[in-house]
Amino acid sequence: MTTQVSARNIDIRFLGLPTQIKANAESTNGAYGLIEHWDVPTGFASPYHTHHNEDESFYVLDGQVAFVLGGVPNDARAVPLVAPEVLLGT
């Protein structure tokens, strides 16, 4: 899903999750995007995917998540460019 916005703090649903866009490429001159997910249910899994234009990082405020990076379970919170990954709510 691609959402084009220039304002901050836009509420959307992404992959069925409540999500807030805090900043995007347009509002940061292409430096980064920042989104917040909350209420990620146990058992949730993002589709297995690869980013071709950006690295990805995670900051978990509450609860636990598991990552599969390149097909291997991983506890890293940063995902390098073009690494296939999935995020699991645990």
Write the burial class of residue 41 (CB in 10 Å: 0-12 exposed, 13-18 middle, 19+ buried). Answer: exposed
Tell me: the pLDDT tens digits for 20-59?
A: 988 888 888 888 888 888 888 888 888 888 877 776 777 7
More confident residue, 9 or 42: 42
pTM above 0.95, yes or no: no
CA distance 6 to 10: 9
16: pLDDT strictly greater than 70: yes
pLDDT score for 88 = 64
